[in-house]
Structure 1
Amino acid sequence: MGILTWLGTAHGANDDIWQLYVADKINYDDNLFRLSDKVNPTLLLGPDYSRYDFVNQLSVGGKIHYPISRQRVLVELRADDNRFIQNRRFDHFSTHDTLTWQWALGRGWSGNLGYGYQRSLASFAYTQFFLKDVISQQDGFFDFGYTWHPRWKLSAGLRWQESTHSNRRRRALNRQEVSGSIGLSYTTPSKNSLGLEYRYSDVDLPNRELKPDTLLDDHYRIQTLGAVANWRYSGKTRVEGRFGYSMLENRHYPQRDFSGVTFRLSAEWEPTGKTRFNLAGWRELQPSQTLDASYMVSQGVSLYQFWNATAKILVTGGLIYEALDFEGSPGLAVEPLEKRRDRLWSGLLGVSYAPQRHLEFGLSYQAQWRTSSRPFLNYADNSLSVSAKLRF
């Protein structure tokens, strides 16, 4: 995914959007499989694979944002045809589609009801699995907010998510999750807000086989109680975040449980009308993307910059650091391998040029480095992409 985002153009007097587009992006990656320099790619991948590759992504899509009285319907569709020049066996069709109804009822009720579907090629960043694996993800959600007083708001939501892997050797990572949340917030006269929130997630890994000699569980739940805040320090600076305490409990193997502080904080600063910075830090639990862990603890920091150099040119950049601890790994009572810990650094730079209202060109570069406690998992990667987009 590129780091440049186009917001689209509104048409019509009622703030509705009806838009179609076609786009093409060519991406060059010098380490497609995220291999260590100590690895001989021919021995590991075979003669039919190439360490580097060009990928052409041809996309068609559209969006509809249509208001009906106080309601609003949002439809966003995108389909991509992905073609590899060297590693043709990874050619695939991907898509990203969402349907959302933003509803309002009476004087104080509002919320969202929707469904999303994604289909994409599994990343090679966390695994040493070099066969084609397409992940399909479904996401259904419902949430509401009730404002019974100008200062107080009650909110709650439910979400169902499912991800499935096309390759049978990766189906142990198939995942189903049902989650819910409830919160209460107070908004000050200056439009700052502070609240309490409780979140609950129930995660099933239906294809994960339980054996007496393994500690890899097939089910866990996460509970988080915390505070949420949104503070506008000035007209140019805004801070928001979530800070809480999380508990992850495995159904069968409590020795793999987790409890501790989790958070995500971000600050946005707009020193001028053309420049914006976003600084974020986090400590969160994430789903495992490997077969040797039940979940991951992610800690990191990111800094993004956006600069409208002219009315037609947008320059973006970013720096990201992330530490990943792989928890709940399988093995005997005394594990032969050290617990996996990865450290990742990324740098991003992009330029978007829109010479006309309906036409946009993009150029972006990304560099990544990873160190790992496991042998042969360190890597360095560089990628460069060129894109064009035509909107109707």
Structure 2
Amino acid sequence: MLTSGGAMAALSDTIHPFVAIGYTYDDNLLRLGDDTPAGFQRSDRATQAQAGVMVERPFGRQLLTGTAKVSRVTFDHFNQLDYNGKDFDGDLAWQIGNRWSGHLGGSYVETLTPFSDTSTSQRNLRTTRRVNATAAWRFHPSWRLRGGFTRNAYEYELLAQQVNDRDQDLIEFGGDYLARSGSTVGLVARQIKGNYKNPRVVNGVLLVNDFKQNELKASINWLYSGVTQVQVLAGYARREYDVYSVRNSSGFNGRASAKWAPLGKVSFNAEAWREFSAVESLIVNSSLNRGASVGATWAATAKIQATASLRREKRRFELLDDRFSDVDDADDTKSAQLGMTYAPTRATQLSVSLFREQREGSPLAGSRDYRAKGVSLNATVQF
């Protein structure tokens, strides 16, 4: 009996089931352009039901964490978009002695592809698979060497979108100096290889989009004080395509973020980036993105928290032909969000979120001018 009771306690501390339900209204679900003729259905309401389980289990100095959840999403008008979502992820944080540590993990996500770059009313599920492994060797109290591998694989349900099916492999090696304060500074070398499975046809030309990207970046985690933290991963990157080298690009590339909590109940965060990114479009597949975001969190009471954020990003798309160099090949997206969360008990949470998004598009890349706004309501119960 004592053994059985101990096992039940361990199970309840390790496995945490949960259920959630959400409701969303979007006044431009398909992100139709501002020039779309009147009479087209723009708005819709969606209901989402979720069930899942969270796992957290230590094994000596190792820690296993994971989440598994399934969802059912239904739409009031565009019911052809209804789908069953899946989301699974796991991570093993391992430690061998005092010098070796790392992570081994993976994930599987199946969800509806965003409409921001393709405003089709046909269902287009995107499946993302990820595997990753990292290792670090702390050969000195103040110095560490590390390396890692990550593979991301993307597949799309809609036949027209399968030109975006791809595998992306990342290999990195680096070293860090570990300060007594907890701050770290280091250097990391990376190589990213992208392999697109289905070449696309642009202006009658079969275009292979495979690429290789080499990076050398500084990696900084600066604990300036008890209320201020700065993280930077930035440096030089060069992206080269296997075919049609006019698309090659190089220069500064990276991301920096800062967190500041000057008051006990209020904190702020900011982020800026300049980096390459994939585009889920039928015309282009890559862009160089420059953007920034700011946000604030206010813990009004022990049970109520409010958030606000602003974000702006400008994407400059690859040029397929230098004859169009005088045409605007970039779009500009601005978004804002306000949210509030109420946790009446430790196991329950209610939230509401308002959002607004606006884009100035690029005809060269098939990116549209559009506006969208909406509201989301969610409730979660953990057992």
Q: Tell me the TM-score normalized by structure 1.
A: 0.90
Within the alignment, does 1:303 sit opposite 2:294 as a pair?
A: yes
User: Runs of 5+ in structure 1 lacking a partner?
Assistant: 1-10
Show the counterpart of 1:39: 36
Distance 1:376 1:177 in 2: 24
Distance 2:203 2:38 in 1: 36
3-state SS in 2 of match to 1:218: coil
Q: Which of 208, 213, 229 lines up with 1:217 in the alignment?
A: 208
The 5-angstrom pairing of residues 95-114 of structure 1 reads 95-114=86-105
Q: Which of 193, 215, 227 lines up with 2:184 in the alignment?
A: 193
Aligned-pair CA distance for 1:26: 0.3
Query: Retained in 2: the 8 A contact 1:39–1:376?
Result: no
Aligned-pair CA distance for 1:129: 3.0
Distance 1:205 1:283 in 2: 23
The 5-angstrom pairing of residues 161-176 of structure 1 reads 161-176=152-167
CA shift in 2, pair 1:318/1:15, >3 Å: farther
Within the alignment, does 1:55 sit opposite 2:46 as a pair?
A: yes
Q: Which of 272, 275, 278 lines up with 2:266 in the alignment?
A: 275
CA shift in 2, pair 1:261/1:16, >3 Å: farther
Query: Retained in 1: the 8 A contact 2:78–2:121?
Result: no
* 1:121-171 deviation digits (Å, cap 9, x = unpaired): 111111243321100010011001110111101110001111001111111
* 1:322-343 deviation digits (Å, cap 9, x = unpaired): 10111154x6x74599353110
Matched-pair identity in % = 28
User: Runs of 5+ in structure 2 lacking a partner?
Assistant: 1-7
Distance 1:262 1:248 in 2: 11
Q: Which amino acid aligns with 1:220?
A: F
3-state SS in 2 of match to 1:172: helix
Distance 2:188 2:367 in 1: 42
Show the counterpart of 2:331: 342
Within the alignment, does 1:352 sit opposite 2:341 as a pair?
A: yes
Show the counterpart of 1:146: 137
CA RMSD of aligned residues (A): 2.2
Q: Which amino acid aligns with 2:296?
A: Q
Q: Which amino acid aligns with 1:142?
A: A
Distance 1:360 1:74 in 2: 22
Q: Which of 292, 306, 322 lines up with 2:283 in the alignment?
A: 292
Show the counterpart of 2:18: 21
Q: Tell me the TM-score normalized by structure 2.
A: 0.92
Distance 2:167 2:304 in 1: 42
Q: Which of 82, 87, 94 lines up with 2:85 in the alignment?
A: 94
Q: Which of 349, 352, 356 lines up with 1:363 in the alignment?
A: 352
Distance 1:51 1:337 in 2: 33
Question: Which sits farther off after the overlay, 143-152 or 212-221?
Answer: 212-221
CA shift in 2, pair 1:338/1:253, >3 Å: same
Aligned-pair CA distance for 1:74: 1.1
Q: Which of 50, 57, 77 lines up with 2:68 in the alignment?
A: 77
Query: Retained in 1: the 8 A contact 2:80–2:123?
Result: yes
Q: How many positions carry a matched residue from both structures?
A: 374
Distance 1:164 1:173 in 2: 7
Distance 1:189 1:281 in 2: 28
Within the alignment, does 1:129 sit opposite 2:120 as a pair?
A: yes
CA shift in 2, pair 1:215/1:339, >3 Å: farther
